[in-house]
Structure 1
Amino acid sequence: MVCPADSAQNSAGIQTLLDAEREASKIVQKAREYRTKRVREARDEAKKEIEAYRANKEAEFKGFEAQHTQGNKEAEEEADKEADAKIKEIQQAGKKHQDDVISNLLSAVFDAQPTPIS
């Protein structure tokens, strides 16, 4: 036969186990919440680091681009100056010899001396 004292003791032991299980469940839940929180924080920190790295590399690239574009810009300006000078030179030569060129063209057209092809 089961003694009522044994039954009470078993019941108290079961209750203690249930309480311990509930407490363990709470601890596990807190650990999960903490882990989730830390994962979010780590992800946010990583995003910030990536953004800072990206901004740094973008600034480096813009500096590099500005430095090298400046050299190209100077070469472009120099080429434009040379082209403008050549155009002016050609225009001046055209104006200077314009009358002679027209005279020679008119002479070639009006004073044509055809020769037979053999």
Structure 2
Amino acid sequence: MSAQNSAGIQTLLDAEREASKIVQKAREYRTKKVREARDEAKNEIEAYRAKKEAEFKKFEAEHTQGNKAAQDEADKEAEAKIREIKAAGKKSQGKVADDLLDAVFRVNPVPPV
């Protein structure tokens, strides 16, 4: 009977070792699958980020060109106005200086009323 019990115990121990190996393989498989899923998710996120970055750069380029054209047009208009003002100043500067000197040197006192 004790040999039979010993053989039964040995069979149980062997089954336990085999079950332990199966559980370990399952854990390793699960860990491998989790890593693969994590790597796949990282790749998907990076691809999505790159796609959105490209879309943003395209959007930015399209709208920056419009702003740049508007800015160039505004700069041209401002330069034209500045030239116009300078020309008017040069044209009238002699008369303005004469009028100022005339006002300073010709004093017409007026008595208070």
TM-score band w.r.t. shorter chain? over 0.9
Please give the alpha-carbon distance, in whole angstroms, between the structure 2 residues aligned to 1:116 and 1:40. 102
Moved over 3 A (4+): none
Please state how far the C-alpha of 1:7 moved relative to its aligned partner: 1.4
Residues 116 and 45 from structure 1, CA distance in 2 versus in 1: closer, same or farther, beyond 3 angstroms?
farther
- Structure 2 distance, partners of 1:74, 1:13, is 90
Structure 1 counterpart of 2:9: 14
For the pair 1:60 / 2:55, whether they are aligned, the reply is yes
Residue matched to 2:92: 97
The worse-fitting range, judged by mean Cα deviation, of 69-78 and 92-101 is: 92-101
Which secondary structure does the structure 2 equivalent of 1:112 belong to? coil
Offset of residue 8 of structure 1: 1.0
Distance in 1 (CA, whole Å) between partners of 2:112 and 2:55 is 73
> Helix, strand or coil for the counterpart of 1:113?
coil
In the alignment, does 2:74 pair up with 1:79? yes
Question: What whole-Å deviation, never above 9, does each CA across 1:20-71 have from its counterpart, x for those lacking one?
Answer: 0000000000100110111011001101100110111011011101111111
Q: Which residue in the other structure is 1:69 paired with?
A: 64
- What's the offset of the Cα at 1:80? 0.3
Q: Identity of counterpart residues, as a percentage? A: 77
Tell me the SS of whatever aligns to 1:115: coil
Displacement, 1:114? 2.9
- Distance, in Å, in 2 between the alignment partners of 1:69 and 1:114 is 63
Superposition RMSD in Å: 1.1
Q: Please tell me the residue identity of whatever aligns with 1:70.
A: Q
Extract unaligned runs of 5+ from structure 2. Answer: none
- Matched residue count: 113
The unaligned stretches of length 5 or more in structure 1 are: 1-5
